[in-house]
Amino acid sequence: MAILHIALMGNKILMEKSKQISDPTKPEYKKLAKDMQETLENIGANGLAAPQVHVPERLVVYRIVAHQIPPESNMKPVPWRVLINPIVTPQTDEVKPIWERCLSLPGLHGEVPRYTKVQLTAQQLDGSKIEIKASGFHAMLLQHECDHLDGVLYPMQMIDISTLSFDTELGDSRFYIPRSAEEFME
Ligand code: NI
């Protein structure tokens, strides 16, 4: 088991545009994805982009854990997915602010405007193509992770910087996935 060291905001690797992966089936990517998955499991987090673990290449690992989904929402869990060379295309003009956190800015959260519906195309580790339609929290997560591949951290997308806050000040509202059911219809 390998737990990877996560680069924090200020590290130059997070500001770089990551390289396109020419052969997703190379064993090194399978190992990287497995290590990233173990790193996320270890922290109990949902998503990680390769530059966050010091590899400036276009690879993202994510999932959405069932126990983090509010019971009254219609959101479905998402199993582990590895996205290689992902491209996000908005499916609506609608943009809504949503709370985000990032493993590269531990202890903080902030409100970021994101497209509410997106489509993502990517390659997988076996070289096959995957197409994902996502809305609400899932759509935000995909936009957030793909931003990392272009050297963009969520504070760079914030409009109202006054919402950037320490998690310790949240009190009872420690749950970050919004509860409104309409946010999760897919
Ligand atoms: Ni992040």
**CATH number reported for the structural domain that contains residue 158 in this entry:** 3.90.45.10
Supply the residues annotated as catalytic: 145
Distance 163 CA to ligand 1 centre (A): 17
Domains held by the chain: number: 1
pLDDT tens track of the chain, all 186 residues? 799 999 999 999 999 999 999 999 999 999 999 999 999 999 989 999 999 999 999 999 999 988 777 666 677 899 999 999 999 999 999 999 988 999 999 999 999 999 999 999 999 999 999 999 999 889 999 999 999 999 999 999 999 999 999 988 876 554 455 544 444 444
Q: Where are the beta strands (DSSP E) in the chain?
A: 47-49, 59-64, 78-90, 95-100, 108-115, 117-123, 129-135, 165-166
Residue 180 inside a domain? The answer is yes
Token pair listed for 146: 């793909």
- Separation CA 42–CA 64 (nearest Å): 15
The domain in which residue 134 lies consists of 12-184
Residue 4 inside a domain? The answer is no
- 16-54 burial: b if 16+ Cβ within 10 Å, else e: eebeebeebeeeebeebbbbbbebbeeeebbbbbbbbbe
Residue 6 inside a domain? The answer is no
Distance 135 CA to ligand 1 centre (A): 18
Distance 166 CA to ligand 1 centre (A): 16
Distance 26 CA to ligand 1 centre (A): 25
φ, ψ for residue 152, nearest 5 deg: -115, 125
- Separation CA 116–CA 118 (nearest Å): 7
Distance 153 CA to ligand 1 centre (A): 7
